Structure 1
């Protein structure tokens, strides 16, 4: 029996763009929460509309708010730790039928594990692990193309508006 060297996910592929959370806000048009991811190397942003409970989980960690009992994402972090696993990165990997998909990359005992996840859950977990958040370049491109095809809410205008928000303006819509 031969063993192979453990895979590592500490680096990202050239197809992945490192992002940071620019803000968490309410969409002034739909009144739905938006997680705004921003490319660390440019002004490119990716708005991802999420549910109120998922937005709350992200906001709790962004604000470092302690809760009396572990919330779901805290429980997930604690379970992974107790199983000697470590979240290495999360990747918003796909945009299909106006729905974003993500993958959580973990290491456990030298083995790499990829888990399908909603982007909001992946982001909430990444914040708790202080690990990088990436978006696949195709997702960024496809989200731009999808924006040009939308008619009810002009997402291209929304993207430009988000890219140009300063910190004070972002705070106006903060959750």
Structure 2
């Protein structure tokens, strides 16, 4: 995967919808959107807002476990879209006193990838060919923000 061209993106907005949460990712020129479960949206939003829950949420726990094993999220990559379903890969790097550096690539939902990436301040990418095929939703995001103000 490292040979494939990627676009670095960041979460630019998370908005509740009647069916869950809309996640808007952007690169500064273009914005894409996909939908996730409301609880994961709230979890991502809490981290981005600097809110610390009184008890660790599932993604906090997973992040703490990675830390305990000398591992970290290196990056998250959205690799495919089929219809309305997005597919992603999570790259974890582990290096500790027991083993040499090891890179692990895991199939994961984009929502889980985002939740972990924001916690570990890891970059988020979309494969270039996937990015190019997705509609720019900048106008929709701007319209939603205007309505919300």
So what's the TM-score if we normalise by structure 1? Answer: 0.73
The answer for the alignment partner of 1:139 in structure 2 is 130
The answer for the alignment partner of 2:6 in structure 1 is 16
Secondary structure of the residue aligned to 2:59 is helix
CA positional deviation for 1:170 = 6.4
CA positional deviation for 1:66 = 1.0
Unaligned runs of 5+ in 2: 96-100
Asked if 1:161 corresponds to 2:130, the answer is: no
1:16-165 matches, within 5 Å, as 16-27=6-17, 32-39=20-27, 42-109=28-95, 110-144=101-135, 159-162=137-140, 165=142
- Does the Cα contact within 8 Å between 1:45 and 1:162 map onto a contact in 2? no
CA positional deviation for 1:32 = 3.6
The answer for the alignment partner of 1:151 in structure 2 is none
In structure 1, what is the Cα distance between the partners aligned to 2:113 and 2:132? 21
Asked if 1:172 corresponds to 2:148, the answer is: yes
Higher gyration radius (CA)? 1
In structure 2, what is the Cα distance between the partners aligned to 1:31 and 1:69? 26
When residues 161 and 26 of structure 1 are mapped into structure 2, their CA distance, relative to the original with a 3 A threshold, is farther
So what's the TM-score if we normalise by structure 2? Answer: 0.85
The answer for the alignment partner of 1:3 in structure 2 is none
Larger strand percent: 2
Secondary structure of the residue aligned to 1:25 is strand
CA positional deviation for 1:57 = 1.0
